[in-house]
């Protein structure tokens, strides 16, 4: 019912999903315990059940316990989350392919800079959303583009993200990527698509009136198909 994550296509997204499920396990336990405490307190301290309440100022033991246990839980959550955060910021030193994504109002421009023999012969193309009236059977509304970003699967990629006008954000949920596009600044991220397929994303920054109409489509193919 579109309540969970999309299927992970990169190790980073798989790590994000695993961390989410692990933390959710702790959250369910905490939720059950707190609800049990609330119901127990309401039941035992109701004015009909206990008309003459005891005047307890504080209990040192329980205050120590409810300070230590949450700290331990936070420590168990922090250790894997820090490892994941550092992994997300880690950039591949020698990527096989570098792709530059430039955000415009309201479309994306992609540049395969590895194949540039000169500025006049750079491999650059614009990627516009296909209007609803022009969609073919099976294409997704508000997500299909005229020119997809074609990348090889199972190869380290570096994505350089910038903007030509206002703030944008290059985000593809299945790849675990969300990178801000800032005018005058180059941000970069690394991805390793583990399987072939088509992955959809959208600009995740409110960049103007047509913010919802600049989708991202990444198509991962085999090395042979990418070469051809």
Of 89, 124, 143, the position where a domain reaches its end is 89
Q: What CATH number does residue 214 fall under?
A: 2.60.40.420
Band of residue 1 on the pLDDT scale cut at 50, 70, 90: confident
Of 55, 89, 123, the position where a domain reaches its end is 89
- Same-domain check for residues 114 and 83: no
Of 89, 124, 142, the position where a domain reaches its end is 89
Task: Kindly state whether residue 3 falls inside one of the protein's structural domains.
Answer: no
Across 39-53, 60-74, 78-92, 204-218, least confident range: 39-53
What is the model's pTM? 0.82
Band of residue 217 on the pLDDT scale cut at 50, 70, 90: very high
Residue 49 has pLDDT above 80, yes or no: no
Decide if 192 contacts 14 (C-beta within 8 A): no
Task: Kindly state whether residue 1 falls inside one of the protein's structural domains.
Answer: no
Domain that residue 202 falls in:
97-227
- Same-domain check for residues 108 and 83: no
Q: What CATH number does residue 67 fall under?
A: 1.10.287.90
- Same-domain check for residues 104 and 216: yes
3-state secondary structure the chain: CCCCCCCCCCHHHHHHHHHHHHHHHHHHHHHHHHHHHHHHHHHHCCCCCCCCCCCCCCCHHHHHHHHHHHHHHHHHHHHHHHHHHHHHHCCCCCCCEEEEEEEECCEEEEEEHHHCCCHHHCEEEEECECCHHHCCCCCCCCCCECCCEEEECCCEEEEEEEECCCCEEEEEHHHCEEEEECECCCEEEEEECCCCEEEEEEECCCCCCCHHHCEEEEEEECHHHHHC
- Same-domain check for residues 108 and 203: yes
Residue 20 has pLDDT above 80, yes or no: yes
**pLDDT attached to residue 120:** 65
Residue 106: cis peptide before it, omega within 30 degrees of 0: yes
- Same-domain check for residues 116 and 48: no
- Same-domain check for residues 135 and 175: yes
Across 87-91, 97-101, 146-150, least confident range: 87-91
The model's pLDDT over 156-196, given as tens digits with 9 standing for 90+, comes to 999 999 999 999 999 999 999 999 999 999 999 999 999 99
Judged by phi (left if over 0) then psi (alpha if -120 to 50, else beta), residue 64 lies in alpha
CA dist 82 and 77 (Å) reads 9
């Amino acid at each position: 019912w579109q309540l969970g994550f999309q299927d992970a296509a990169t190790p980073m997204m798989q790590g994000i999903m695993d961390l989410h499920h692990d933390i959710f396990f702790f959250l369910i336990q905490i939720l059950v315990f707190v609800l049990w405490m609330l119901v127990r307190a309401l039941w035992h301290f109701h004015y009909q059940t206990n008309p003459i309440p005891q005047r307890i100022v504080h209990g040192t033991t329980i205050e120590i316990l409810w300070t230590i246990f949450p700290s331990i839980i936070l420590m168990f959550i922090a250790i894997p989350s820090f490892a994941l955060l550092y992994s997300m910021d880690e950039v591949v030193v020698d990527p096989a392919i570098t792709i530059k994504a430039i955000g415009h109002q309201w479309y994306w421009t992609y540049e395969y800079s590895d194949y540039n023999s000169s500025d006049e012969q750079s491999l650059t193309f614009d990627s516009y959303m296909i209007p609803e009236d022009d969609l073919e059977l099976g294409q997704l509304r508000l997500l299909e583009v005229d020119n997809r970003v074609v990348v090889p699967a199972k190869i380290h990629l570096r994505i350089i993200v910038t903007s030509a006008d206002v703030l944008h954000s290059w985000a593809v949920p299945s790849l675990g990527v969300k990178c801000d596009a800032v005018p005058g600044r180059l941000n970069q991220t690394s991805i390793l698509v583990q399987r072939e397929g088509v992955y959809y994303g959208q600009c995740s920054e409110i960049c103007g009136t047509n913010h919802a109409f600049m989708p991202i489509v990444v198509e991962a193919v085999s090395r042979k198909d990418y070469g051809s």
